[in-house]
C-alpha cells in the first residue's frame, strides 16, 4: 500500500525509488540489486522510527486511514463460525453494527462492532459506521443473549460518534446509548472492548463499558473529534492538530492515565500494512485477557468493572498543610 498520508512524504519518495528498481525485474544489474536491498532496509527502518514517534494528530490520521482494517476484516482473520445476527426486534436492522456469536480460539464469544464502508455505496449503507438507535438496541439484545448463554462479550470500536440526525434523536438515540451503559455495567459475563480505529464520543462509550479496554497502537479514543474540539475552543477546525495534542487521545497517552489496560502492537506502518498480522496480535491479546477474566469469581468480575470506571478521572487531594506551604 502506498505511503499516502501527509507526514509520510519522505517515505513515499523512498518507495518510488524502490518501485522503479523493482520494475526492472531480472534486468537489474548487481549494483542496482544491492541498491534495492539498501533502500528496502532504509524504508523499513525509517517507517519503524517514524511510527514510533507519531504526534497525536498523526495518530488520528492513521486511525482514519481509508485502508485500515474494519471490524469485518478482524472477524474474518480472528474468528471461526461467525454468524451475524440482525435487528433490534423493535424498529429494524442497523448495518453500522455487525454482531453475532463466533469462536475465538477455543472460546465461544459474542462479537459486536462498528462497521464503516469502503466505497460510496457501502458508506451509505453503513451510515459511515455511525449507529442509529436500533443499532445500539441490537447490541443490547445480543448482550442479553450472551449473558443467557454464558458467552464473553468482545466489542470492536471504530466510530467517530453515534448518528446525530433528527430522526435518530426522535427514535431515542440517547436512551439507547444510556440503556447499553446500564446493561454493560451489570452484565454477568466478561467484557473486553478494543478500539481498533476511532473511538469517538458516546458512540464509542456505548459499547466500551468493559472489564478490560484495549487499544491498537495507532488508534484514538476521545470524547470529541479534534476538529470538533478545535471548533469549540478556537472557533476554527484548522487548530485540530493543536487540539489533538491537548486532548491526549492516543493509546500511549491514555495507558498511563488508566483509561485503557493494554496497547496492542500494529505492523510497522500501521494495521493497514498487514491485516493478518494486526488480527493475530489482537487475537493473542484478547485470548490472554479472556483467560485472566475467566479465573475471576463473578462477584469479583462485576466489582472490578465497577471500580475501573469509578477510578477514571480520580485525583489525589492535597493536604491543607502541603497546600499552605505551596502558597
* Same domain as 95, residue 44: no
pLDDT of residue 315: 63
CA 109 to chain centre: 19
174: containing domain:
63-311
Residues 130 and 224 reside in one and the same domain? yes
Q: How far apart are CA 227 and CA 241, in angstroms?
A: 8
Taking the alpha carbons of 220, 223, 225, 230 in that order, is the dihedral positive or negative?
negative
* Domain match, 167 and 69 both: yes
Q: Tell whether the model's pLDDT for residue 316 goes beyond 70.
A: no
Whether 324 maps to a domain, the answer reads no
User: CA-to-CA distance for 225 and 93, rounded, in angstroms?
Assistant: 27
Residues 106 and 36 in one domain: no
Residue 169 shares a structural domain with residue 111: yes
Residue 158 three-state SS: strand
- pLDDT at 40 (0 to 100): 85
Residue 110 lies in a domain: yes
Tell me the three state secondary structure of residue 32.
helix
- Asked if 93 and 200 sit in the same domain, the reply is yes
CA dihedral 217, 133, 178, 146 (to 10 degrees): -70
Is there a single domain that holds both residue 277 and residue 209?
yes
Q: Domain holding 286: CATH number?
A: 3.90.226.10
82 in the same domain as 30: no
- Does residue 12 fall inside a structural domain? yes
User: Cα-flanking dihedrals φ and ψ of residue 190, to 5°?
Assistant: -65, 145
Closest Cα partner for 262 from 243, 240, 241, 287?
Answer: 287
Predicted confidence (pLDDT) per residue in 254-266, tens digit: 999 889 999 999 9
What is the 8-class DSSP label of residue 265? P
pLDDT tens digits along 273-315: 999 999 999 999 999 999 999 999 999 999 999 999 988 876 6
Is 37 a member of any domain? Answer: yes
Q: Assess if residue 1 is contained within a domain.
A: no
| pLDDT band (50, 70, 90) for residue 111 | very high
The pLDDT value given to residue 249:
93
**pLDDT for res 317:** 54
State whether 29 and 136 are in the same domain.
no
Q: What is the secondary structure of 130-141 as a DSSP string?
A: ---HHHHHHHHH
Together in a domain, 275 and 304: yes
Residue 167 lies in a domain: yes
Same domain? For 156 and 46 the reply is no
The residue behind cell 507526514 is 7
Indicate whether 115 belongs to any domain.
yes
DSSP one-letter code for 164: -
- Asked, for residue 293, whether it belongs to a domain, the answer is yes
Asked if the model's pLDDT at residue 21 lies above 70, the reply is: yes
Domain count, the chain: 2
> Is 188 in the same domain as 260?
yes
Q: How far, in Å, CA of 217 to CA of 196, rounded?
A: 9
Q: What is the pLDDT of residue 323?
A: 42
Amino acid at each position: 500500500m502506498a505511503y499516502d498520508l501527509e507526514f509520510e512524504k519522505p517515505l513515499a519518495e523512498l518507495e518510488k525509488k524502490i518501485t522503479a528498481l523493482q520494475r526492472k525485474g531480472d534486468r537489474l544489474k548487481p549494483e542496482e540489486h544491492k541498491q534495492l536491498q539498501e533502500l528496502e532496509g532504509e524504508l523499513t527502518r525509517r517507517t519503524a522510527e517514524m511510527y514510533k514517534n507519531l504526534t497525536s494528530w498523526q495518530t488520528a490520521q492513521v486511525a482514519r486511514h481509508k485502508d485500515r482494517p474494519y471490524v469485518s476484516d478482524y472477524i474474518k482473520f480472528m474468528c471461526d463460525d461467525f454468524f451475524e445476527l440482525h435487528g433490534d426486534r423493535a424498529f429494524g436492522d442497523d448495518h453500522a453494527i455487525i454482531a453475532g456469536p463466533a469462536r475465538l480460539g477455543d472460546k465461544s464469544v459474542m462479537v459486536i462492532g462498528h462497521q464503516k464502508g469502503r466505497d460510496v455505496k457501502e458508506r451509505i449503507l453503513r451510515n459511515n459506521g455511525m449507529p442509529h438507535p436500533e443499532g445500539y438496541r441490537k447490541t443490547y439484545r445480543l448482550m442479553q443473549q450472551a449473558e443467557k448463554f454464558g458467552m464473553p462479550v468482545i466489542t470492536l470500536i471504530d466510530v467517530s460518534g453515534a448518528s446525530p440526525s433528527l430522526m435518530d434523536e426522535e427514535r431515542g438515540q440517547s436512551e439507547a446509548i444510556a440503556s447499553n451503559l446500564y446493561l454493560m455495567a451489570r452484565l454477568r459475563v466478561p467484557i473486553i472492548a478494543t478500539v481498533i480505529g476511532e473511538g469517538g464520543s458516546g458512540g464509542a462509550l456505548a459499547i466500551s463499558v468493559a472489564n478490560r479496554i484495549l487499544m491498537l497502537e495507532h488508534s484514538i479514543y476521545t470524547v470529541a473529534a479534534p476538529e470538533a474540539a478545535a471548533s469549540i475552543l478556537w472557533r476554527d477546525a484548522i487548530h485540530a492538530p493543536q487540539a489533538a495534542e491537548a486532548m491526549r487521545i492516543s493509546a500511549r497517552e491514555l495507558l498511563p492515565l488508566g483509561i485503557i489496560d493494554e496497547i496492542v502492537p500494529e505492523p510497522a506502518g500501521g494495521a493497514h500494512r498487514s491485516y493478518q498480522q494486526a488480527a493475530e496480535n489482537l487475537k493473542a491479546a484478547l485470548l490472554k485477557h479472556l483467560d485472566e477474566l475467566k479465573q475471576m469469581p463473578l462477584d469479583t468480575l462485576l466489582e472490578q468493572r465497577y471500580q475501573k470506571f469509578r477510578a477514571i478521572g480520580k485525583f489525589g487531594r492535597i493536604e491543607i498543610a502541603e497546600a499552605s506551604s505551596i502558597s
